[in-house]
Structures are given as C-alpha cells and as structure tokens.
Amino acid sequence: MKQVVVVNEALKLPRGKLAAQVAHAAVGAFVAASTEVQQAWLNSGMPKIVLKVDHEADLIRLYDLALEQNIPARLIKDAGRTVVPEGTLTCLGLGPASDNELDKLTGELKLLR
C-alpha cells in the first residue's frame, strides 16, 4: 500500500510552491479513497513517493487510467495567482492503493530528486 504523487516537471516549480502542490495532491487523493484503504495506509506509516513527468499530457493520461481502474486520484490545477498560468496542471495524486496497482501505472517514471 502506498501513495504516489506525479509532478509536472516541465514547470520547474520553486521548492515551496512545489511542496504545497504535492501536499494538495496527497490530501486530495487520500480523501478520494475508502475509509478502509485510508486506515490501512495510515497504519502502515503513510508510504509515499514523488515521481516526475515532463509533459502535462502525461498527468492527464495517468489520471484517466487511474479512474478506469478505480484508483483514488486527484489532479491539481494551479490557481495561477503567482508562479504559473491559471489552470496549469501541476501534479497528480494517486492512491493510497496497492503497490502492484500503482507500479503498473507509474513503474516507468523517474523519482523527483
């Protein structure tokens, strides 16, 4: 069981902005999960990894695949008051879900360093 957040690294967001967007995605996907899944993940120590893609289109593709497979998912769109144009997709929260389900979707992506 884990949670994955995929970042749109084309934006090269500054650290504070990036962290806030990833946190939005994490909470957003968390509340989309069932109570049982939430609890199982919390009990296992909330494992989470942050991965990256280079194109906004990849976030949309992964989001659609996640919904097809009933994986909790939340796309985050920036409100655009500061760093990036309004409506830009900054990241995608996926899970909590099983490692296996998430690895099928995101196993090819690189870690965000």
Binding stretches for a second copy (CB under 8 A): 3, 5, 7, 14-20, 22-28, 30-31, 38, 42, 46, 48-50, 52, 111-113
Q: CA–CA distance from 17 to each of 23, 64, 77, 91, 112 (Å)?
A: 10, 25, 12, 11, 15
Q: Which residue number, 48 or 61, has a Cβ lying nearer to a second copy? A: 48
Q: Which residue number, 5 or 62, has a Cβ lying nearer to a second copy? A: 5
Q: Which residue number, 74 or 105, has a Cβ lying nearer to a second copy? A: 74
- On the CB side of 108, CA atoms within 13 Å amount to 6
> At its nearest, how many Å lie between a second copy and the CB of residue 69?
22
> At its nearest, how many Å lie between a second copy and the CB of residue 11?
12
> At its nearest, how many Å lie between a second copy and the CB of residue 20?
5
Ranges of beta strands (E only) in 1-113 are: 2-8, 48-53, 73-77, 89-97, 110-111
Structure tokens at 54: 């280079």
For the chain, give the number of residues.
Answer: 113
